[in-house]
Structure 1
Amino acid sequence: MTRLSVPAFAARPVLAVAVVFGAVLTALSGRYGYHRDELYFLVAAHHLGWGYIDQPPLTPLIARVSTTLFGDTVMGLRVLSTLSAVVTVIVVALIAREFGSHRRGQVLAAVCAAVSGYVLGVGHMVSTSTYDLLAWMLIGLFAVKLLRTGDGRWWLALGATVGIALENKYLVVLPVGALLIALLVVGPRGVLRSWWLLAGVALAGLIALPNGLWQFQHDWPQLKVAGGISEDDGTENRIMFIPLQILQLSPFLVPIWIAGFLRIWRHLPWARSIALAYPVLCIAVLATGGKSYYALPLLLVLVAAGCEPLIGWGDRHRVRAVVGLVLTALTSALFTLPLLPASAADLVIPVNKEQGEQIGWPAFVSTVAAAWAKVPPSERSTATLFAGNYGEAGAVVRYGASYGLPQVYSPHMSFADWARPPDSNTGPVLLIELDRTPRFETYFRNCTQVGKIDSIVSNDEDGTALVLCDGPTEPWSTLWPKVRQFY
């Protein structure tokens, strides 16, 4: 096979893998319940705009489309997320094909993607990472095509994908930046000397412009959010970076992505920048204190490259290969999908806390309603329900009407912009606080805890304090900027 040719696409078996993968996600999509982020997206979907404090507009828009087309339920919300993950599996197989993998190598690449913990996890829920992963895989596919063929027109496909990805999550600048650095270091630098590159950059900028203007008009709030994440979690993120790179994709896939890196470096010199981009990206994430999953998508590109050379090993050690893939599928599914009864989720939450964030929200709101009932009826017209973060606020928006709860207010992320308590709300304030801290209670009079969330699992909401205060110490219009939270 020459560099300009690729094997035929193994469409039927790859699509079969993708269909089975999608069927598993669909069958389990209604278990447990909404994730805290999904509750936020549902509210954001009814405040559509060109940007939000903590993210661009695409994921809330997709949530709105999915619930409109497929129903305002947990399963309805997740349909397009499932489809995105299905397409991701197919794209990984296409990347393997670009690296010269034949039928079995492409199928193995699809299987590896389908059984990896990260793809299963982000495919199960709606998150910015769900659609970000698909964008990264498409960028990887188009980048490999660009390097394999030397055809500068692939810069247009890259530019369009990057532009759309920037309307979903800004992290896409990381792999693109890592790839450009790697191209400068190991080449082929010729692809950089092209007007098509400038056209691709212009196209990306044009597509991303609306959200860029929104960020500019709102004083770049995303920088405040990113700074808060790095300040709060940076040290822990750096310590856990390598272990989580292994665990979140799957320990069983480590030999495959190592084989992929070595194969590219030794035998595919035209693609060395793809291999080098991964360690460059890791250095950037470590330097900024970012989360480990920021670099995971590029590992899938290396997995795609590593499948073909392992076919021969698999033929010689068929039992080991099958057992390894089965164990990968079982462990990944156990830790990322709602397979266990909700009451038993504590067994996997230490490894994947997102499991716990899908459990207990109706009960959470029921407990809030019981605390709200302690507000004297004569004072409820001027009372305020105050949630400390967007997950709590989103849960009350979703389930509060069933319990007769009033509108909830939160100073967290874009909730702070969507609604502020009127100054006429001078009466009692029920605070929903993960932990009792002066951060909020300083601004209210005579605060007393009147309830506590007792979750059936050890999630972030377990132990949340419900604190009833006599009222705000100053008008809400003055107080609101002081309690606002960007992370």
Structure 2
Amino acid sequence: MATKKQATLLILVLAIIKFALPFFLQHPVYELHRDEFLYLEQGKHLAWGYMEVPPMLSWLSYLTHLFGDSFFWVKFWPSIFGAFTLIITCAMVLEMGGKLFAVFIAGLCIMFTAYLRLHFLFQANFLEVFWWALSAYFIIRYINSNQVKYLYGIGLAFGCAWLSKNSVSFFIIGFAVALVLTQYRTLLLNKHLYGAGVLALIIALPNLLWQYNHNWPLLHHMEELRETQLKFISPVDFLIGQILMYFTAFFIWVMGLIWLFTSKGKPYRMLAWIYLTVIVLLIVSSGKNYYSIGLYPMLFAAGSVALQQWTTIKLKWTRWVASTVILFLAVFTLPMAMPLWEPDKLATYYKERDVEGTGMLKWEDQQNHSLPQDFADYLGWKEIAEKTEKFYQSLPQVTKDSIVIYCRHYGLAGALKYYGKDEVFKLKVISDNGSFLHWIPNDFGFKHLLFVGRRMPAADDEVFQHFKKVTIIDSVTYKHSRQLGDKVIFFEQADSLASKLAAEGLKQMKQEFSRKKL
């Protein structure tokens, strides 16, 4: 009993540290990430689905707005779910026979690997990791107890995972393959397994219906990713990523995978087959290396148990070596995991240590830059929002009444809405990028247009050719920002065709994602 209490106390302490640590590791000069602006805006337009993600993240966004929209509340959700993920991982350790040391190691793995940054980003990935980990936990509980309630727990986790991120389909396929390849294939004749499947389907059904009614934007989004990003990813890069993302403790998950194929790990071998199946699927489909991030809590749990079992007598001293290595590498890699310092200092640090050679400074454009892409995505938003709103406020009221503020992508639109101070100004902001497309009124009109984007619209962007005067007002000057050079451009005195062309183009774009005639 004392051991159980000690384990519970240790898990609680680790979870509290996990929750609080990122708040102390990010320098205050960094703002929100471009994707966070989009997901925050989704909370103001609740639906059963969006162009980018299912609805669960928007529910948390809605609560964030209720609590005041502050930086803390934006970051609260990934941080608290990170703590929950650590708790589940440590619970898996206990279920697989691990003791206090294994719990401690598993907690370090969740705190000081790729999850450190992931659990400070308001993106669907932190929900994905949580539900995948919970699915694995229920699998282990079923293996240990043979109680059907845990099959329904798996179904519940699968359904909720779908409402978080559709990538759970990879895990579900892996689960099915693992059933066939292990002694648990008899479950294929168990009616409760199919009952659990029905439960998962019922939970996921609202989003599936939304996808159907909007012509499956999930498929459109994946095709766009394949054309713009995924085609650059090689299997070698993907596999290297599986090491680098967990560099501080990669030997733990490797040990876990090996242990699952030993006699002691055999009862839980299903987890290994799930992992290998998903990895193969992601390689074949050119997935990004972080698409597998939900798999590793269960492997870290298994690896922690393996380390404990393999060092019970003669090699007990290696436990402290393992702990020290994880903590030492964590300190060494912190400047790459979190934006610890202001951008100039961080960029100098990277240059002095030739971080460019690791590939960590390579962006989606396949070029190296001064900061990692994620860090550069935290900068420049306040600047562009302030410059846009300042110019808007300088306009005469009659111009304000007949203007729209068009942003080329969702990050800019979301930043203007988040950092904008005047409510009327924020209502003027629109974008046809991502989910913002659906939030543009069908009957909007304008006489003037304030454009916010990287480049002057090209000649084939016909709407912009119907203004009498065009003036470049300002631009982003923050040198480390990914938004460097984004401009504020004022288009004045639209002719009679401008609004008509914009309305027709908007209708056509919306029609692509709707089964209803607009």
Does the alignment reach a TM-score above 0.5? yes
Query: What secondary structure sits across from 2:421 in the alignment?
Result: helix
Counterpart of 2:433 in structure 1 is 412
Counterpart of 2:367 in structure 1 is none
Q: How many residues align?
A: 476
Verify the 8 A CA contact 1:43 1:394 in the aligned structure 2.
yes
Q: 1:371 to 1:67 in 2, by over 3 A?
A: closer
Check if 1:74 corresponds to 2:67. no
Q: How big is each residue's C-alpha offset from its partner over 1:298-328, in whole Å with a ceiling of 9 and x where there is no partner? A: 1231121111332428733466434312233
- Once the two structures are aligned, what percentage of the paired residues are identical? 21
Shift of 1:330: 2.0
Moved more, 333-342 or 211-220: 333-342
Aligned runs of 1:119-268 on 2, under 5 Å? 119-238=115-234, 240-248=237-245, 250-267=246-263, 268=265
Aligned runs of 1:306-321 on 2, under 5 Å? 306-311=303-308, 312=311, 315-317=316-318, 320-321=321-322
Check if 1:55 corresponds to 2:53. yes
Structure 1: which 5+ runs fail to align? 1-6
Counterpart residue type for residue 504 of structure 2: T
Verify the 8 A CA contact 1:55 1:168 in the aligned structure 2.
yes
Check if 1:20 corresponds to 2:17. yes
Shift of 1:134: 0.7
Query: What secondary structure sits across from 2:238 in the alignment?
Result: helix
Moved more, 452-461 or 120-129: 452-461
Shift of 1:411: 0.3
Distance 2:315 2:342 in 1: 35
Structure 2: which 5+ runs fail to align? 351-359, 363-371, 514-518
Q: 1:332 to 1:120 in 2, by over 3 A?
A: farther
The partner residue of 1:450 within 446, 454, 472 is 472
Q: 1:149 to 1:192 in 2, by over 3 A?
A: farther
Verify the 8 A CA contact 1:163 1:204 in the aligned structure 2.
yes
Distance 1:91 1:362 in 2: 37
Q: How big is each residue's C-alpha offset from its partner over 1:166-213, in whole Å with a ceiling of 9 and x where there is no partner? A: 112111111121121122134421222211111101111111122222
Counterpart residue type for residue 113 of structure 1: I
Shift of 1:277: 1.7
Distance 1:429 1:290 in 2: 39
Shift of 1:286: 2.2
Verify the 8 A CA contact 1:440 1:483 in the aligned structure 2.
no
Counterpart residue type for residue 464 of structure 1: D
Moved more, 354-363 or 468-477: 468-477
Counterpart of 1:3 in structure 2 is none
Q: 1:357 to 1:440 in 2, by over 3 A?
A: farther
Query: What secondary structure sits across from 1:385 in the alignment?
Result: strand
Shift of 1:219: 1.9
Check if 1:39 corresponds to 2:7. no
Distance 1:327 1:458 in 2: 29
Distance 1:222 1:196 in 2: 30
Moved more, 75-84 or 328-337: 328-337
Distance 2:188 2:298 in 1: 21
Counterpart residue type for residue 441 of structure 1: D
Moved more, 201-210 or 474-483: 474-483
Q: How big is each residue's C-alpha offset from its partner over 1:47-92, in whole Å with a ceiling of 9 and x where there is no partner? A: 11222222211111112224424x3201022223211110101111
Counterpart residue type for residue 350 of structure 1: L
Shift of 1:13: 1.3
Check if 1:396 corresponds to 2:416. yes
**TM-score with structure 2 length normalisation?**
0.83
Counterpart residue type for residue 417 of structure 1: H
The partner residue of 2:361 within 307, 329, 350 is 350
Q: Over aligned residues, Cα RMSD in angstroms? A: 2.9
Counterpart of 2:324 in structure 1 is 323
Counterpart residue type for residue 167 of structure 1: L
